[in-house]
Amino acid sequence: MRSSLVLLASVLVLPLEGMAAYPERPITFIVPFAAGGPTDVVARIVAENMSKTLGQQLVVENVAGAGGTTGALRCAQATPDGYTIMMGHMGTHGAAPAVYADLKYDPVKDFVPIGMAAGTPILIVAKKSFPAKDLKEFVSYVKANSEKLNEAHAGVGSVSFTTCAFFNSLIGAKPTRVVYRGTGPALNDIVAGQVDYMCDQIVNLVPQIQANSIKAYAVATAQRSPVLPDVPTTKEGGLAEFQVSAWNAIFAPKGTPPEVTKKLSAALQKALADAGTRKRLLDLGADLTDKEAQTPEGLAKLVQSEVARWNKVLKTVAMKEPAPPPK
Ligand code: ASP
């Protein structure tokens, strides 16, 4: 009896001991969009600090395609041992179920939430030569000429796709929607004047707006961004109905042991409390005010409410237009 108890105790203790050493090797950190875009930028900033805390590198792997759902599925199907995690966002873990009838993962059931990294207000931006001086002129021009205009997005279900689908439907515009593997490459084409406009997350845009290489017509939040004090809100610009903000958050596959997710979550929260990491994110316009969402419990709630919200919003929006094939 006694020896069997001892045996039982050692069996119970073993897995915990194994995990105490986590992480023992680098962690693959899936970014479901092209390098250089908003999700990639936020991921790399937090990964740098988290790697120091964890004593192992978080190695970013860009797995782009299908509006971020290819990378999210890769993460959902990975071995849940803490060595594959991802940076998801409002698209992959909020809007995607509303636009893909056959989505192969469930943002709620197939992941363990680790925590939100950054809120990312949405801006309406256009190429520098776009012939409109403010949001009112922009809206009338787009309405009148939308068939001739190209709008860039990062694939069906991405933040840029869903938020601009909402924008286009609000103003009754039907531009040609050009798909990219992320808004990093899309932004390059806006700077080069090859596409006309897009709706994108602030962290991708601030340097180009400050350098005057693109035009920013409005930020879709209640307040102006402290890093872009000259850019009016959509409300100030006469389009108060277009209020939308995105977010980027870390997830692990379902079944990842709690000891592991706790370590990851603590490392993320430590990164978000670090002055240097905060400054880098804040300088790009990220919103770090939602402390509750930085916890696994808060993120779980956010994902549930976002799936419901986007399901409602996107039902009212013409989402059915065929997207052109990826470049
Ligand atoms: N977040 C995506 C990217 O990093 C873009 C998007 O969702 O619109 O490119």
The backbone torsions φ and ψ at residue 325, rounded to the nearest 5 degrees and listed phi first, read -65, 155
- Residue 227 within a domain: no
Q: Could you tell me if the CB of 28 is within 6 A of ligand 1?
A: no
In this structure, is residue 1 part of a structural domain? Answer: no
Residue from 56, 31, 61 nearest 43 by CA: 31
In a domain, 235, yes or no: no
Q: How far does the centroid of ligand 1 lie from the alpha carbon of residue 64, in Å?
A: 10
Q: Looking at the structure, do residues 161 and 98 belong to the same domain, yes or no?
A: no
Confidence at residue 319, expressed as pLDDT on a 0 to 100 scale: 55
Domain boundary among 199, 219, 239: 219
Is 186 part of a structural domain of the chain?
yes
Does residue 115 share a domain with residue 144? no
pLDDT computed for residue 314 by the predictor: 81
Ligand 1 touching residue 157 (CB < 6 A): no
Alpha carbon 25 to chain centroid, angstroms: 26
Q: Is residue 7 part of a domain?
A: no
Report the C-alpha gap between 291 and 165 in whole angstroms: 29
Are 129 and 184 members of one domain?
yes
Q: Phi/psi at 86 (nearest 5 deg)?
A: -145, 160
Whole-number pLDDT of residue 19: 58
DSSP state of 197: E
Residues 203 and 257 in one domain: no
The pLDDT of residue 20 is: 66
From the list 47, 117, 52, 56, the residue with the least C-alpha distance to 83 is: 56
Q: Which of 204, 219, 234 is the last residue of a domain?
A: 219
Which atom of ligand 1 is the closest one to the Cα of 184? 9
Same domain flag for 94 and 159: no
pLDDT, mean of each 10-residue run, the chain (327 residues): 48 50 97 98 98 98 98 98 98 96 96 98 98 97 95 97 94 96 98 98 98 98 97 98 96 98 98 98 97 96 95 72 44
CA of 203 to the centre of ligand 1 (A): 10
What is the total count of domains within the chain?
2
Question: Ligand 1 center to residue 232 CA distance, Å?
Answer: 23
Instruction: Write the DSSP string, 166-189.
Output: HHHHHHT---EEEE-SSHHHHHHH
Q: Is the CB of 244 under 6 A from ligand 1?
A: no
* Plot region of 32 (φ>0 → left; ψ -120 to 50 → alpha; else → beta): alpha
Q: Are residues 258 and 290 in the same domain?
A: yes
At 13 the pLDDT is: 46
In a domain, 53, yes or no: yes
Tell me if 327 is assigned to some domain. no
pTM of the model: 0.91
Atom of ligand 1 nearest to the CA of 158: 7
Query: Rounded to whole angstroms, how far apart are CA atoms 107 and 128?
Result: 37
Q: How far is CA 190 from the centre of its chain?
A: 20
pLDDT score for 141: 98
Whether 237 maps to a domain, the answer reads no
CATH number for 159: 3.40.190.10
In short, whether 89's Cβ falls inside 6 Å of ligand 1 is yes
Residues 164, 145, single domain; the answer is yes
Is-cis flag, bond preceding 131, omega within 30?
Answer: no
Q: Are residues 181 and 141 in the same domain?
A: yes
d(CA 220, CA 31): 25
Q: Are residues 114 and 136 in the same domain?
A: no
Q: What's the CA-to-centroid distance between 37 and ligand 1, angstroms?
A: 6
Q: How far is CA 275 from CA 29, 270, 282, in A?
A: 23, 10, 10
131 and 97, same domain (yes or no): no
CA distance 206 to 197: 15
Q: Are residues 55 and 125 in the same domain?
A: no
With a 6 Å cutoff on the Cβ, whether 120 touches ligand 1 is: no
What is the CATH number for 83?
3.40.190.150
The domain in which residue 259 lies consists of: 24-119+247-314
Same domain, 215 and 303: no
| Helix, strand, coil percent content, the chain, rounded in steps of 5 | 45, 20, 35
